[in-house]
């Protein structure tokens, strides 16, 4: 029992160390943490509430007083962009978590059971996947109505397929493994085999899909809100700030109103994708990584250490 | 399959809390409940829901798409007006992005670490991170407002008759869509080329002394087309659905802007017909994928190889 715990600890340590040695993961993590911190302390950094209206200072370009300028009501764009990150990141993370949950449960069940259930779920996933995502989201939004929670639900319902496919694929190969056969021989129930024994082995694709989905959903939120159909306009999100660019005059003359929110989206998504790439390198043994080499080193060092 | 989708679309639209009658009748006429009831009866809204579904299905199948709640226009007329615009935009972008992605992807894969490889990797990473409408906004700001070389939107300006007259209007939207589509496609092509290069038959060809350009063209290129073609076939639904965001940025009068207008106005008949058409194209596309796979790879012939 103690040995098992030790093993687990050391794999976790190897994982963290490999991740910290992976350049793209480090860059990505740095970007993401800085941006999350900025979003949390938006008001302190900008010095103004995002909703503070100052009619005299309306539509000013970037200056030392307002690093990102002000909008038509004189609200400080720096404060709005930074705090807009809160809602955008929140939507992305929660929706990605829910989508992953749906995808994992469906993928695990379909992959383990196979047969008719698998065929049906597979067909559905193909259909949802090929339907242009934004149109599907719009149809759902028109049925459910606007609102931040509805946006999250819609994203989860339209974005579970990547995870589903990955998990299903893993289950297809894992269900033939000896330990699963042993489980069956012991007479364990199906849910127990699926979720307690096989599922932990498929964690790496799930984690990678989680990061990729965050990136996709943040971009989707931006598009949806840009069209004015996402999160209600009263809460600033990166996408809602971009709505200003529906007006040609804004595109022409007040570039700071849309360039800064869009850049924030791009940089954050870039960071998330970097982390995703890094995680894939570290977690997936098929992509050449340090983990195999280091595992030996640790085992060796551990043995030698014990002898002394 | 087609029936399942049509049923889903139909019943989902009935789930919505909006009563079609309220949307059709102006508020001052709505006070007369006898009139409303008569209209309901005439439109068949009092029939059993299964019967309503079957009528709707029959109408769709015979090309009777019904009327838009918003404008009262025939939906088939709206589609006939809007579809060419979307086709023009998406088809040009699809063709352009495919040609560019295949060339760049082939060179990138063939010479790892070369200029094409670096370029395509930067494009792949950055292109995925930037929302496509932002590319459109930047192009709009630079080329339409700053230097005023190109028009700021719309498909046709008054007085433009021939295709070449309105060609400038097409450039920015197509460029935006092409760049947006390029990123994923290049990544796909590059990875597929790299995979193929590692296969045994490439080594055989090289050891036979086949010139490198021929190895690349007739051995590697053709064999790495498979996954790329599949991705392309999955993009076919865009031809009828259009790119909502790009069309909105450039005020392009296509299907995408029609969908947006329909969704904001809860114009259900239009949403239902458009999503039905898209679903049909998807079915055709997935059928095409199977055919493409069997043409490119004789091992997966339909029917399991007799």
Residue of chain B whose Cα is closest to the Cα of A137: B263
Residue of chain B whose Cα is closest to the Cα of A247: B249
What pLDDT digit, counting tens, does each position of B168-210 carry? Answer: 788 888 888 888 888 888 888 888 888 888 888 888 888 888 8
Give me the pLDDT at residue A214, please.
92
Give me the pLDDT at residue A94, please.
95
Mean pLDDT for A144-155 is 86
Mean pLDDT for B56-85 is 79
What pLDDT digit, counting tens, does each position of A259-275 carry? Answer: 888 889 999 999 998 88
Higher pLDDT, A194 or B7: A194
Give me the pLDDT at residue A299, please.
38
Name which of A123, A142, A226 is nearest B266 (Cβ-Cβ): A142
Residue of chain A whose Cα is closest to the Cα of B133: A223
Residue B106 structure tokens: 């082939």
Give me the pLDDT at residue A105, please.
93
What pLDDT digit, counting tens, does each position of B124-138 carry? Answer: 778 888 888 888 888
Mean pLDDT, rounded, of chain A: 80
Mean pLDDT for A128-155 is 83
Give me the pLDDT at residue B118, please.
83
Q: What is the DSSP string of B41-61?
A: HHHTTTS-HHHHHHHHHHHHH
Name which of A143, A226, A228 is nearest B15 (Cβ-Cβ): A143
Mean pLDDT for A166-179 is 86
Q: Are the beta carbons of A138 and B237 separated by less than 8 Å? A: no
Q: What is the CA A77 to chain-centroid distance, rounded?
A: 25
Q: CA B72, B271, B61: angle at the middle one, nearest 5?
A: 85
Chain B positions contacting chain A at CB under 8 Å are 1, 5, 12-13, 15-16, 125-126, 128-134, 137-138, 140-141, 145, 152-153, 234, 237-238, 241, 244-245, 248, 259-260, 263-264, 266, 271, 274-275, 278-279, 282, 285-286
Q: Does A113 touch chain B (CB under 8 A)?
A: no
Q: Are the beta carbons of A219 and B131 separated by less than 8 Å? A: yes
Segment among A93-107, B246-260, B281-295 with least mean pLDDT: B281-295
Cβ contacts (< 8 Å) between A214 and chain B: which residues? none
What pLDDT digit, counting tens, does each position of A89-114 carry? Answer: 999 999 999 999 999 999 999 988 88
Higher pLDDT, A250 or B20: A250
Cα–Cα nearest to A97, from A265, A214, A218, A215: A214
ipTM of the complex: 0.76
Q: Does A149 touch chain B (CB under 8 A)?
A: no
Name which of A135, A227, A228 is nearest B278 (Cβ-Cβ): A135
Residues B159, B49: Cα–Cα separation, whole Å: 49
A219-222: Cβ within 8 A, 24+ apart: A219/A265, A219/A269, A219/B129, A219/B131, A220/A133, A220/A134, A220/A137, A220/A155, A220/A159, A221/A88, A221/A91, A221/A92, A221/A151, A221/A155, A222/A88, A222/A261, A222/A262, A222/A265, A222/B131
Q: Which residues of B253-264 are buried (b: 16+ CB within 10 A; e: fewer)?
A: bbbbbbbbebbe
Name which of B134, B141, B263 is nearest A141 (Cβ-Cβ): B263
Give me the pLDDT at residue A89, please.
92
Percentage of residues of chain A with pLDDT beyond 70: 88
Q: Are the beta carbons of B286 and A130 separated by less than 8 Å? A: yes
Give me the pLDDT at residue B21, please.
59
Give me the pLDDT at residue A290, please.
40
Q: Is the pLDDT of residue A224 over 80?
A: yes
Mean pLDDT for B56-79 is 77
Identify whether the C-beta of residue A250 lies closer than 8 Å to the C-beta of residue A261: no
Mean pLDDT for B41-53 is 70
Cβ contacts (< 8 Å) between A244 and chain B: which residues? none
Q: Are the beta carbons of B279 and A127 separated by less than 8 Å? A: yes
């Amino acid at each position: 029992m103690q040995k098992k715990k030790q093993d687990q600890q050391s794999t976790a340590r190897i994982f963290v160390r490999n991740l910290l040695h992976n350049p793209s993961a480090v860059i990505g993590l740095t970007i993401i943490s800085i941006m999350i911190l900025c979003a949390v302390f938006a008001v302190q950094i900008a010095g103004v509430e995002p909703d503070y209206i100052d009619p005299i200072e309306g539509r000013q370009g970037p200056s030392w007083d307002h690093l990102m300028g002000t909008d038509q009501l004189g609200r400080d764009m720096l404060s709005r962009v930074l705090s807009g990150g809160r809602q955008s990141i929140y939507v992305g993370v929660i929706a990605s978590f829910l989508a992953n949950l749906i995808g994992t449960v469906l993928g695990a069940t379909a992959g383990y059971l196979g047969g008719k259930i698998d065929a049906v779920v597979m067909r559905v996933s193909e259909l949802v996947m090929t339907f242009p995502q934004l149109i599907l989201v719009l149809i759902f939004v028109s049925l459910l109505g606007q609102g931040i929670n509805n946006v999250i639900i819609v994203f989860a319902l339209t974005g579970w397929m990547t995870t589903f496919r990955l998990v299903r694929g893993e289950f297809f190969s894992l269900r033939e493994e000896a330990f699963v056969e042993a489980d069956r021989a012991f007479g364990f129930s199906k849910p127990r085999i699926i979720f307690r024994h096989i599922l932990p082995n498929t964690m790496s694709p799930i984690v990678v899909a989680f990061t990729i989905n965050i990136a996709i959903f943040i971009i989707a939120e931006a598009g949806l809100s840009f069209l004015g159909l996402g999160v209600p306009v009263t809460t600033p999100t990166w996408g809602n700030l971009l709505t200003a660019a529906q007006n040609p005059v804004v595109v022409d003359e007040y570039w700071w109103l849309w360039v800064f929110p869009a850049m924030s989206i791009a940089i954050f998504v870039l960071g998330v994708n970097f982390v995703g790439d890094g995680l894939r390198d570290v977690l997936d043994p098929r992509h050449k990584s340090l983990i195999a080499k280091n595992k030996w080193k640790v085992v060796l060092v551990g043995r030698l250490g014990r002898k002394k | 399959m087609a029936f399942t989708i049509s049923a889903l679309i139909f019943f989902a639209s009935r789930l919505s809390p909006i009563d079609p009658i309220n949307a059709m009748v102006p508020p001052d006429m709505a006070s007369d409940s006898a009139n409303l009831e008569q209209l309901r009866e005439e439109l068949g809204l009092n029939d059993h829901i299964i019967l309503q579904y079957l009528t709707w299905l029959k109408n769709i199948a015979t090309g009777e798409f019904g009327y838009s709640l918003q404008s009262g226009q025939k939906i088939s007329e709206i589609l006939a007006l809007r579809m060419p615009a979307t086709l023009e935009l998406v088809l040009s972008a699809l063709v352009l992005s495919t040609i560019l992605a295949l060339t760049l992807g082939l060179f990138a894969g063939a010479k790892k670490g070369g200029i094409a490889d670096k370029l395509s990797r930067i494009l792949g990473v950055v292109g995925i991170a930037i929302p496509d409408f932002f590319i459109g906004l930047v192009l709009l700001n630079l080329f339409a407002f700053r230097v005023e070389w190109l028009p700021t939107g719309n498909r046709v300006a008054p007085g433009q008759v021939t295709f070449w007259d309105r060609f400038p209007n097409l450039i920015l939207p197509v460029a935006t869509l092409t760049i947006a589509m390029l990123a994923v496609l290049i990544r796909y092509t590059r990875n597929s080329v790299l995979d193929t290069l590692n296969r045994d038959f490439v080594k055989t060809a090289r050891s036979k002394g086949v010139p490198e350009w021929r190895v690349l063209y007739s051995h590697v290129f053709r064999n790495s087309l498979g996954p790329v073609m599949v991705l392309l076939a999955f993009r076919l639904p865009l031809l009828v659905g259009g790119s909502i965001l790009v069309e909105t940025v450039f005020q392009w009068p296509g299907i995408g802007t029609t969908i947006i207008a329909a969704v904001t106005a809860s114009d259900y008949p239009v949403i239902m017909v458009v999503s039905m058409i898209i679903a049909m194209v998807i079915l055709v596309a997935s059928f095409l994928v199977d055919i493409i796979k069997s043409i490119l790879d004789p091992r997966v012939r339909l029917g399991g190889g007799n």
